[in-house]
Amino acid sequence: MSLICLFPGQGSQAKGMGAELFDRYHDWTADADRVLGYSIRELCVEDPRAELGLTQFTQPALYVVNALTYRAKRDDGMAEPDFVAGHSLGEYDALLAAGCFDFATGLQMVKERGRMMGLVTGGGMAAVVGMAPGRIQEVLAGSEAGRRVDVANFNTFDQTVIAGPKSDLETVQADFEAAGVRAYIPLNVSAPFHSRYMREPQMAFDTFLRAFTFAAPRIPVVSNVSGRRYQGDQVRQTLSEQIGNSVQWLESMLYLMNQPEPEFVECGPGTVLAKMLVAIRKKLK
């Protein structure tokens, strides 16, 4: 059997998440408050200022809750996984689980990542449902507006997220509807994440990461950028590239599903990744 832990990213956050974990792990809760400069418990459990949905707050909150969830599962008897992977932000928790850095160091990086990504405005994202990824790319290539839009997340065979200028996303909606897409859903996000329009923060984040030292993963980590295992000496480069490149989640899951007797455990709030896995498996039957 291959035990595989998956860590979710933005979109899995929910008010009340982690409520049972903060008292259990006072040390990491205190570390989080120190690094962030505010109460992580208050943000996650009460969200009194309606900040949990803002990128600069969402990313640290999810990183902390994912990490605490994984720690609790290990303390409750779960074996060390054979592989780990995380969707976008969740990749930091996968690298934490693999021993590439400690909890507080990872949170410092996530805090800055969220801040930088939260500064980008002027674009958006949309989910394209019921169309194969290859066909989506063909539709985008067929118009001037489409050529300014990138595929941001290859999530499943039937669900892909695209990103780009809002006006172009509005224009290509008609193209997708004419091509027979089942649903075209604009997402409530502030920027075109994981696209060419994130290259400036990608370069700035790469410079920021140069202040950190990374250990090689002691557990295989599957990268969003490649859909394959991290190279031990390329953690910094891969993390910076992740911001401005597509999340190859479908490719990552197909790779992991080919491991001997794979058993998947989602470590974080909600079941977004588990549902994606069900959808991928359904298409393979």
Positions marked catalytic: 88, 194
In which region does residue 261 sit, left (phi positive, over 0), alpha (psi from -120 to 50) or beta (all else)? left
Q: Quickly count: other Cβ atoms within 10 Å of residue 47's Cβ.
A: 18
* Neighbour count for residue 51 (Cβ, 10 Å): 14
Beta bridge pairs of residue 117: none
**Alpha-carbon span 55 to 51, nearest angstrom:** 9
Nearest to 193 by CA among 202, 184, 185: 202
List, as one string, the DSSP characters of 121-134: -SEEEEEEESS-HH
Answer for the pair 90, 6: CB distance below 8 angstroms, yes or no: yes
The 3-state DSSP class for residue 128 equals: strand
Q: How far is CA 53 from CA 41, 114, 116, in A?
A: 15, 12, 16
| Residue 204 half-sphere exposure toward CB, CA atoms < 13 A | 12
